[in-house]
Amino acid sequence: MIHRLNPRIVGAGIIGVALVFGAWVLNSLQAAPISPEAALSVATVPAPARAAIAVTDSDRDGVEDWREPLLTAEPVILNTTTATYTRTDTVTERVGITLMENYFLAKSTGKPLADVNETIAKQAFDQALTTVSDTPYSNLDLIILPDDAPDTIRTYVNAVALTLENNDVPGLLHNVRAFEQAFLQQDEKAKKQLVAIAAMYQQNCIDLLALPVPSTVRSEHLSLVNTMCSMSKNLTSMVNSSEDPALALLRLKRYEDDEAALAQAMIMFSDMVKRQTFSLNTNDPASMFLNFGSPINQ
């Protein structure tokens, strides 16, 4: 009697064999694990052998052959001229530099610029104003006469009056009026008159400084000299306002004070002439000082 195998048993056996075979295949395909030592190792490739350059000097001039093509027979001339910073000459440029320096300095403090803008501008102009201050002449710049006799003083005051008369230019506009017409109205004729006024003050300054002065009147003389020189510088700066507008502005700012100082110097000189013991007649140029400041001529 032949026994038949149970189909379920046969199927289970086939499935078991298949699972075992599949596990074996997957295990064989899995990569071998890499050890930490193997992962950190770096493969080194030996560098190729170097061929040394032959150091030869065929012409025996002390220069190796490989350097010969790099040399030149032409002399190497180095330009030794170096550019140096030159501080600007005009007041306008100096004001601009100071303004920017003060701006960045204020900005570095962290303060709101709206609070310091006006202060920055004022400081820049105040600093520039110190650069246009005039150095007054002193007694050391004068030719002092040891003789204070009345005739000596009479000769001196006549010489002063003659200097002012000779340098006077009739028909000139008033200083500030000439400035307004010259630059606000672009009047070339007024500009020429402003140049003539500045030249007149400058010549008075030069001529008065060259006059011998009696020692008792040197104070009055210095006042005339210094105020004439200041007025000349003020008006010259106004003439050159297109070249240095900040300087012209600063000079215009002090012009009124200098003009008042000149008027006071003329009054002091006139009072000095009136105090003298000698008398002046109409032929004396200094007689102009006798009526100076009177209601008729004001």
Helical pair 218-239 and 245-275, crossing angle rounded to 10 deg: 150
CB under 8 Å to 278, separation ≥6 — which residues? 150, 151, 153, 154
pLDDT (tens digit, 9 = 90+) per residue, 4-34? 545 555 555 566 656 655 665 556 555 455 5
Q: Which residues of 235-268 are buried (b: 16+ CB within 10 A; e: fewer)?
A: bbbbbbbeebbbbbbbbbebbeebbebbeebbee
- pLDDT value of position 48: 76
- pLDDT value of position 115: 56
- Residue 143: which pLDDT band, with cuts at 50, 70 and 90? very high
Question: What CA–CA distance (Å, rounded) separates 93 from 98?
Answer: 9
* Dihedral angle over CA of 109, 113, 119, 122, nearest 10: 110
pLDDT (tens digit, 9 = 90+) per residue, 77-128? 766 666 666 666 776 666 666 666 666 666 666 666 555 566 666 666 666 6
> What is the pTM for the complete model shown?
0.59
Find which of 92-101, 130-139, 266-275 is predicted with most confidence, using mean pLDDT: 266-275
- Residues in a beta bridge with 297: none
Question: What CA–CA distance (Å, rounded) separates 163 from 200?
Answer: 11
pLDDT (tens digit, 9 = 90+) per residue, 202-256? 999 999 999 999 999 999 999 999 999 998 988 888 777 777 777 777 787 788 8
* Dihedral angle over CA of 216, 222, 224, 228, nearest 10: 160
pLDDT (tens digit, 9 = 90+) per residue, 39-79? 555 566 677 777 766 678 888 777 788 777 777 667 667 66
Q: Poorest-confidence range of 42-51, 231-240, 257-266, 270-279?
A: 42-51
pLDDT (tens digit, 9 = 90+) per residue, 166-194? 998 876 666 666 666 666 666 777 778 88
